Structure formats: structure tokens, C-alpha cells
Structure 1
């Protein structure tokens, strides 16, 4: 004799499996997690801040060029 099952539970289980398969496909299609995107944004901000810290003032570069031409 077959096991008695609750049809509502079986239907919900099947729906969860379908949703999980769609989620796997979407994760593959759309890529990274929110944490990965946030980490990349933080790294880009860090690199930008480091680059800004090493920039010279525009007036100083012009002044240096004009001083070398006068000599």
C-alpha cells in the first residue's frame, strides 16, 4: 500500500524546488552578491583616495615648468 501524503505539503515542496532552480539560474546570470559589490566599491574608493593623495597641485606644476624655462 502506498504512503499517505499531504497534497498541500507536496505542492509547496515542489514549488520550493522550482523556485530554487530559478534562483540558481538567476545567480549564475546576474553574478555577484551585495557583499561582493560593496567590497569592490570600497576597494575602488580606497584606490581613488590613494590616487588623490598623490596628486600635485595644478599651480605647482605650472610654476615649476615656467621656472625651468626662465633659467
Structure 2
């Protein structure tokens, strides 16, 4: 079984009623990058983006990502 890391950002933001545009503005980051992470389309995760999101959302890196088997 191959495990893959998945972004849980969509679940976190949807649960809190947060929009992509507002989060990107609040953390001063490109909305397209936030959107890629939101839709789990990002291949590499910029450390700065992950740190800003964790701080803004009050979550840990482990909360932001999960492992999923294929």
C-alpha cells in the first residue's frame, strides 16, 4: 500500500466558513497558491505558506495534512 500526503485545508476552511480570497488576503499570500493547497493540487508545499496557514488557523502541520492509502 502506497501512502500519500493529502491537504486537509478544504475541510478546515469549509468547517469554519472561510473563503479562499479572505484567507489569502489575511495571510498576505497569493490566492492561487492557497487555492492549489485547498484543492490538494499542490506537489510541493512552500514552508512559508504552511507556517502562515498553521498560525492563522491555529492548527498544527499534522492537522493541516493527513496520510491516505491507495
TM-score by length of 2: 0.21
Structure with the largest fraction of strand: 2
Structure with the largest fraction of helix: 1
Which structure's CA Rg is the greater one? 1
